[in-house]
Amino acid sequence: MGLLDKIKGELVDIVEWLDDTRDTIVWRFPRYENEIKMGARLVVRESQTAVFVNEGTIADVFEPGTYTLETQNLPVLSTLKGWKHGFHSPFKAEVYFVSTRQFTDMKWGTKNPVMMRDPELGMVRIRAFGAFSAKVSDPQLLLRELVGTDPQFRTDEVHEYLRQNVVSHFASVLSSSGIPVIEVAAHHGDLGDQLAARLTEELSTDLGIAVPKFVIENISLPPEVEEALDKRTSMGIVSSGTVGSMAAFQQFQAGAAMEAAADGGGGAGAVIGMGLGQAVGNAIVPPTQPAAPSAPAPAPAAAPAGPPPLPGGWFLGNGGAQTGPFDDAALAAQAAAGTLTPSTLIWRAGMAGWEPASSVPDVAKHLGATPPPLPQA
């Protein structure tokens, strides 16, 4: 510094800070050899605090306002110096201006997925990002713990540390809330308020920094989990009556896979796709008229396979056992022996399924001469 600058420094009697940046938290007022004239004016604007440091010790703190620097306005500094050489001589002190406004350009995000237990999905990996604001709550503590002798302390010097604190608390707050991940979008505001309060409580005590506002912009799941949720939603649209049914979901998955395969086959694939689409439709909504079987339908209960069917032969089902085939004469003999009763299940080729003997006219004619069952004792 030249002689002219030294003289100008001695003549300047206004100590102030006009901040032309958006990221400066603390700024040290430059003076030649840190000398300040007694009687100089100190201007502290709104959203500022001026801290006087004498020989490494915080002496006085000034809130917003205009002050004339005299002994009555510098009680601590006056006590430290003693003013042995008069009350109007220059004094040496460092003046740090601390911005107390909110810094809103603070971003946060999870660099790596955070593992947590979801009440519906189980163990999941999530990513999240958003923004938060930071504000100095205790200028003296901030100078002691973070700033030190830094002449210009900016937000980028503390941003990464704050982001790490945010991520460390984010997973615990989300897990303890008990809110499923798929419903968390409706609770972004409440979760943000909880995180802001927890971070403020911790950082204010340790560093003199508060977090007035915390914003959760998005919480996302891994792509494969989101794809599965999308498929479940699609299944609900296609088959609204069976949402959540595993069978319906499997049918939907199979139909989607077959249609995708058909789409990749050109003209032939289009024809195949039409048939597959119809098959999927029948799988979701079964046809009301099933085709007649070409072989004997299974008996009501499991039973060993009977002899091969004969043309015009009748099959009887009693007690889960299948017998036959019988012609009309054999049916009459079965009725006479009491094996064929009105409730006996009967079937032959051409019938859709097993039916009671009394409902089949060709068989019921053999039941007329059958005596009723004896009364029990």
Query: Lowest-pLDDT range, 30-34, 77-81, 112-116, 121-125?
Result: 30-34
Which segments of the chain are extended strands (E)? 14-15, 24-28, 35-36, 41-44, 48-54, 57-62, 65-68, 91-92, 94-99, 103-109, 114-118, 122-136, 152-154, 209-220, 314-318, 321-326, 345-347, 355-356
- Report the largest interatomic distance among the alpha carbons of the chain, rounded to a whole angstrom: 142
Q: Is residue 4 over pLDDT 70?
A: no
Final residue of a domain: which of 168, 197, 221?
A: 221
Structure tokens at 314: 């009748």
Has residue 161 been placed in a domain?
yes
Q: Is residue 58 over pLDDT 80?
A: yes
Residues 238 and 136 in one domain: no
- The DSSP secondary-structure symbol of 29 reads P
CA 355 – CA 343 distance, rounded (Å): 9
127 DSSP β-pair partners? 220
When mean pLDDT is compared over 124-133, 167-176, 226-235, 285-294, the highest value belongs to 124-133
Residues 182 and 266 in one domain: no
Has residue 113 been placed in a domain?
yes
- One-letter identity of residue 226: E
Average pLDDT across the chain, whole number: 78
Please say whether the beta carbons of 165 and 202 come within 8 A. Answer: yes
Find the distance separating the first CA and the last CA of the chain, reported in whole Å: 130
Confidence of residue 71 (pLDDT cuts 50, 70, 90): confident
Final residue of a domain: which of 254, 284, 314?
A: 284
Please say whether the beta carbons of 34 and 151 come within 8 A. Answer: no
Residues 229 and 206 in one domain: no
**How many CB atoms sit inside 10 A of residue 149's CB?**
10
Has residue 137 been placed in a domain?
yes
What pLDDT is recorded for position 286? Answer: 52
Residues 118 and 210 in one domain: yes
Residues 174 and 231 in one domain: no
Residues 167 and 194 in one domain: yes
Residues 349 and 364 in one domain: yes
What pLDDT is recorded for position 305? Answer: 45
CA 118 – CA 319 distance, rounded (Å): 52
Has residue 13 been placed in a domain?
yes
Q: Indicate the Cα dihedral angle 183, 188, 189, 194, nearest 10°.
A: 100
**17 or 334, which is more confident:** 17
Q: Is residue 275 over pLDDT 80?
A: no
Residues 107 and 51 in one domain: no
- The whole model's pTM is what? 0.57
Residues 131 and 95 in one domain: no
Which domain, by its residues, includes 362?
A: 294-377
CA 174 – CA 242 distance, rounded (Å): 31
Has residue 192 been placed in a domain?
yes
Residues 182 and 257 in one domain: no
Residues 110 and 215 in one domain: yes
- Peptide bond just before 325 cis, omega within 30 deg: yes
Work out the percent of the chain whose per-residue pLDDT is above 90.
29
- Looking at the structure of the chain, the number of domains it has is 4
pLDDT tens-digit profile of 179-193?
888 888 888 999 999
224 DSSP β-pair partners? none
Has residue 200 been placed in a domain?
yes
pLDDT tens-digit profile of 194-218?
999 999 999 999 999 999 999 999 8
Q: Is residue 116 over pLDDT 60?
A: yes
Final residue of a domain: which of 263, 284, 305?
A: 284
Has residue 289 been placed in a domain?
no
Q: Which residues contact 129 (CB under 8 A, 6 or more apart)?
A: 107, 108, 109, 110, 217, 218
51 DSSP β-pair partners? 61, 96
Please say whether the beta carbons of 340 and 367 come within 8 A. Answer: yes
Has residue 246 been placed in a domain?
yes
pLDDT tens-digit profile of 305-324?
444 444 458 888 877 788 88
**260 or 109, which is more confident:** 109
Residues 206 and 230 in one domain: no
Q: Indicate the Cα dihedral angle 27, 28, 31, 32, nearest 10°.
A: -120
CA 322 – CA 307 distance, rounded (Å): 9
pLDDT tens-digit profile of 6-49?
544 454 578 999 988 889 999 999 876 667 888 889 999 999 99
